[in-house]
Every structure is written in structure tokens, then in C-alpha cells.
Amino acid sequence: MRLNPIITTLIAIVLLAALLGAAALALSPGGPALASGGFSLRTLSPNADGLDDITPVTYRLRRPASVSIYFIAADGARYNFRTGNPRDSGEHTLLFSGIVDGFDRPGDSHQARVLKRVLPNGDYTWVIEAATGSDQAQLQGAFTVKEADTTLPDLSHLTASPAVFTPNQDGLADRATINVWLAKDIPESGLHVALIGPGGEQFPIGEGSSSILPGRAG
């Protein structure tokens, strides 16, 4: 006996829907996107003395999500380490050295814009947060920063002489000298100077000879 073509088609559609549903359940396990996570160290002393300067941060995602990692201070201030970074499912590990997005503190007198900064000493709550289109989950834990080196490598007294130069090899204002004052020692390759063009393009400028070694304060 031959089945009605319409019935055959309906049966095929039902079977296909069941298979797709089973595949969706297998590929998208239940529960929140953030399955687990945490910091290896509970106390960090980011001062480059080789002891507890860096801690691994590990988290596992059940499915792709946007991940944020931040710290909440006792006064409620928030300090961002990662913000809305898209990540695939699986286990992820990164290193935290105490450096978060830049912020200003009362009494600061720096002249440069702060892009990154070391967390000041104190007690914090770390937060790992994962968000998808349908859910948001987070994990929290206690975290302490002590003996942190929070002195900024401030830049000041930036000058260029002459302010207008004509690099045409006529012997007149063919070169310009750029000087800047560095407040503290930094890694030898940590200072970058560049000219920014009208379109935002950058032209790096190499460091000239000086009595001050590269990366040293002064």
C-alpha cells in the first residue's frame, strides 16, 4: 500500500524537526553560558619583585559569549580588566598582573592621559561575567592587592624644536628635536614617540642618542 504523498511529507518534516532539536540540545548544553571560573591567587602584589606579581585567570564557557572581567572596590568603584570580549565555548586562561583600564585618583597631578594603571592596595571583589543574547551569568570572589607599585610613568614637558621644520635638505630647519620627561623607570622598549598624520596614521620616531639610557627616568 502506497502512503499518501502529503502524509509522507508530513512524516519527513516531523522527523527532520526531531533531529534538529536533538542536535540543538547536543550542541547547546543547558545551564548558563559561564560554567566555571576563578583566580588562582587570592592576593596579588604587583611590584615586579618576582613574588605574586601575576595570577592566572581561568573560566569555562558552555557556549560562545561576551566576557567581562572587572573588580569592585570596597567603595563601589569598578575597575575593568576585560570588557565585552567575544569568546568561543570551552576553557580560557589569561594572566592578570594588576593592570586595569586607566582611571584617575584624587590628588593626581599627571599631565598625560592614563590608558592603563595598576590597582591600588585594598580589598576587592573580582567578577567574571558572560553574556549571550538570552542570558547573563557571573561568578565572584574575594581578591586583595598589597604592596602595589602604583607610581605612574608620567610624561611631561613634551617639546618639539623647531615646531615647524622643512625636511628638504636645504640646511634650514631640516631636523626637529623632540624631548619628553619620564617620571619613572620603564622597560627599555616601553617609550614610544610618533607623529600622527591628518588621517590618524602614525609615524614612529626612534630615540636619539642621549646620556640617559633607554627606559630610564629623566
pLDDT of residue 158: 80
pLDDT of residue 22: 46
pLDDT of residue 96: 98
pLDDT of residue 37: 97
Cα dihedral 52/54/60/64 (nearest 10): 160
Q: Where are the alpha helices (DSSP H) in the chain?
A: 5-27
pLDDT of residue 20: 52
pLDDT of residue 50: 93
pLDDT of residue 85: 97
pLDDT by 10-residue block (mean), the chain, 218 residues: 56 57 52 96 95 97 97 97 97 98 85 89 98 92 95 79 81 78 75 83 80 74
Tell me the pTM.
Answer: 0.72
Separation of CA 73 from chain center: 19
- Phi/psi for 7 (5° steps) reads -65, -40
